[in-house]
Amino acid sequence: MLDLLILVHEFGHFIVAKLMGVRVNEFAIGMGPRLLKWGKGETEYSIRALPVGGFCAMEGEDDGAPTPSAMGGNADREVEADDACSFAHKPVWRRLLIVLAGATMNLLLGFVLLLVYNGCLQKPYDNKETVLFPTTTLFALEETTPAYQSGLRAGDTILEVNGRRIFMTTDLTLEMQNDADGVLDMVVRRNGERFTLPKVAFEQVTDEESGARYLKYDFTLLGVERTFLNTITQSAKQEVSIATVVWRSLVDMVQGDYGLNDLSGPVGTVDIIADAVGDTVTQTDRIAAWQNLVMLMVMITVNLGVFNLLPLPALDGGRLVFLLWEGITRKPVPAKWEGLVHFAGIVLLLLLMLIVTYSDITKFFV
């Protein structure tokens, strides 16, 4: 599954590079020594020993970088900076499209998988005849609840919670889970008008076994029947919601809200996937396993797309920063210095991968 997501990302770079007239020297899945290679044309295809990444090595992509082949490029080919098929020789806009293509493919794959999940894998529940997609509109709310007494009403559509936009029920759940005092500032749409509801209170409940505290849902949400159009809309909103959660999680990690134990690399991810799929004894188990697997793939591929666009060295986002600078100033950053920056970024990413992998392995013995 991880190899598939990496393949999709690198294929994005590959196909757009070909369309932009850039020679691709090697297209590889995995890192480390080659296990298998083929191709007699300008592009060599290979599968490598470590399934923790991949690359699309383009002619002239790493001009001036310190030993780019050591970082996964093709060591058997010489880069010619003046080659008309060189990445470095192409206009900025073409290079921007090539760099953006990997993350775009990951996000597109996430959307397609969500269409499959919502259109095929979702099944009716509670003896309903059709699938209902939950909305952020309140269907029912008892008058005795703290939320009602704070101003919330049935029929309200929740737009914002604590200053954050609410697209899906998952956004609402996340904000309620992370709230510290059980009092939320809300913006709702009521009868076509926006209302600000400060300090909407909810009952706090503590789990006796885990000791975890959570807010009690005092309301039920309106559901809409699945149709072709709202399946597309639901999937698009879900992708935006997941991407937002990924971004917020990265910000929270930088702020120290999450630690090393909250991160997972390939080892931890495979373990999570195995737990989610579980034993598929009955037909119901198999459907649930596929639902879990597809949603995990969505979360990981969207995570890959968002993370790769961060303006960090060695990531696609880091390359975008250099290309945008070149486009604005009409002067490229010297290839030697750009190569050094990306090389340092790769070293740091590999170091982080080793630390996270070690943490994943130690969790098996705790």
* Enzyme catalytic residues: 10
Contact between 168 and 137 under an 8 Å Cβ cutoff? The reply is no
40 three-state secondary structure:
coil
Q: How many residues does the chain have?
A: 366
Per-position b or e across 81-96, b if 16+ CB within 10 A of its CB: eeeebbbbbbebebbb
Q: Which helix (H) or strand (E) holds 285?
A: helix 283-308
Tell which residue, 179, 165, 157, 290, has the closest CA to residue 237.
165
Contact between 143 and 240 under an 8 Å Cβ cutoff? The reply is no
Query: What is 55-110 written as a DSSP string?
Result: EEEETTTTTT-SSGGGGTS-TTS---TT-TT-GGGS-HHHHHHHHHHHHHHHHHHH
Q: Report how far residue 313's alpha carbon sits from residue 338's, in angstroms, rounded to the nearest whole number.
A: 9
294 three-state secondary structure:
helix
Tokens of 84: 């008309």
Q: Which helix (H) or strand (E) holds 130?
A: none
Q: Write out 228-281 in H/E/C secondary structure.
A: HHHHHHHHHHHHHHHHHHHHHHHHHHHCCCCCHHHCCCHHHHHHHHHHHHCCCC
Count of beta carbons in the 10 Å neighbourhood of residue 35: 12
Bridge partners, residue 46, by sequence: 28, 37
Q: Report how far residue 6's alpha carbon sits from residue 10's, in angstroms, rounded to the nearest whole number.
A: 6
